[in-house]
Amino acid sequence: VQTLWRSLEPVFTGGDIAKQMPLQAKAFAGIDKTWMRCMEKSFETKKVLSCCELDLLKDNLPDMQKRLEECQKLLEAYLEGKRKLFPRFYFVSNPDLLKILSQGSEPTSIQEDFEKLFDAITKVEFGKSDKKGS
């Protein structure tokens, strides 16, 4: 549960992807709240064995695992959709693609990823543009 939560938490707690997947972000928020409650209770329980016997953990961890796996599958489907729209995304891993998509509004932050997407391009210079409404 912790591993899945840690990989999904930055994706669904803000940024462009959370805005594009509002239902999944809302579902993750519920999981996140339960996870935080479990972690607070675990922190309060000083002995490991006592912590493992907490009903809160026994009751919630299996359900959280299932719900996190559903979020993961939906995220993978979202990434696959982006890859179908722009096939060069097939050249990058899921973590790299998440980084690219989540920082899409700031293209200079993904300079290191251009080489993965385009042969012989390692850097792109962006000029300032005037964005005036017509």
According to DSSP, residue 47 is labeled: S
Note whether 111 and 73 are same-domain residues: no
Determine contact, residues 20/81, Cβ cutoff 8 Å.
no
Same domain? For 9 and 51 the reply is yes
Structure tokens at 8: 């999904």
Range name among 13-17, 54-58, 81-85 with the lowest pLDDT average? 13-17
Report yes or no: 110 and 117 within 8 Å, Cβ to Cβ.
no
Is residue 98's pLDDT more than 50? yes
Task: Give how many domains the chain has, as a whole number.
Answer: 2
- Put simply, whether the predicted model's pTM sits higher than 0.85 gets the answer no
| Residue-number span of the structural domain to which 107 is assigned | 87-126
What band does 134 get if pLDDT is binned at 50, 70 and 90? very low
In this prediction, residue 132 carries a pLDDT of 56
Specify whether 9 is located in the same domain as 44.
yes
The alpha carbons of the chain give a radius of gyration, in whole angstroms, of 19
Would you tell me how many other CB atoms lie within 10 Å of the CB of residue 1?
A: 19
Q: Let me know whether 42 and 100 are in one domain.
A: no
Average pLDDT of the chain to the nearest whole number = 87
Q: Give yes or no for a contact between 31 and 68, defined as CB atoms under 8 angstroms apart.
A: yes
What percent of the chain has pLDDT above 70? 94
Do both 78 and 28 map to the same domain?
A: yes
- The predicted model gives 80-103 an average pLDDT of 91
Tell me what the mean pLDDT of segment 39-59 comes to: 88
Dihedral sign of CA atoms 19, 20, 26, 27 in order: negative
Query: Which H/E stretch holds residue 134?
Result: none
CB atoms within 10 A of CB 59: 12
